Structure 1
Amino acid sequence: MKVRVDTAKCSGHARCAAAAPDLFELDEDGYALPLDGEVPAGQEEDAREGAMSCPEQAITIE
């Protein structure tokens, strides 16, 4: 499973980091940093929860 953040869509709500702090980082302005990597085993549900929490739909899971 891979997770990606579209920084053009991110509005800095930080809900992804609240839902899955081990998978989503925020920059100093509160915007999600671009993630493009494999989700560690056992954290797939956290990745889905983080993506579903994004009101801008800036996070995709593959």
Structure 2
Amino acid sequence: MRVRVDPLVCEANGVCVGLAPEVFDLDDEDELQILAPDVPAAEQDRVRHAVRSCPKAALSLDE
């Protein structure tokens, strides 16, 4: 599984960071950083939940 962010859509609300901090982070300029684009198996359920919970639908998955 691979996760991506559309930086033109992302508003850095941080919902994904709260749900999967091992995979997502906000940098000092409030831009979303994906720490693990190739999602580890142990984090896949959390990342799916984070993608579904994004208020701007800025995240996508390739499974």
TM-score band, normalised by shorter chain: 0.7 to 0.9
CA distance in 2, matches of 1:54, 1:24: 12
| Equivalent position of 1:31 in the other structure | 31
| Equivalent position of 1:11 in the other structure | 11
**Contact 1:11–1:56 (8 Å) recurs in 2:** yes
Q: Secondary structure at the match of 1:42?
A: helix
TM-score by length of 2: 0.84
1:37-62 CA-partner distances (Å, limit 9, x unpaired): 21011211011011111110000011
TM-score by length of 1: 0.85
Q: Structure 1 residue runs of 4+, over 3 Å off?
A: none
The structure with more helix, counted as a fraction of residues: 2
How many residues end up aligned between the 2 structures?
62
RMSD: 1.7
CA distance in 1, matches of 2:14, 2:24: 9
Instruction: List alignment gaps of at least 5 residues for structure 2.
Output: none
Instruction: List alignment gaps of at least 5 residues for structure 1.
Output: none
Q: Secondary structure at the match of 2:41?
A: coil
| Equivalent position of 1:61 in the other structure | 61
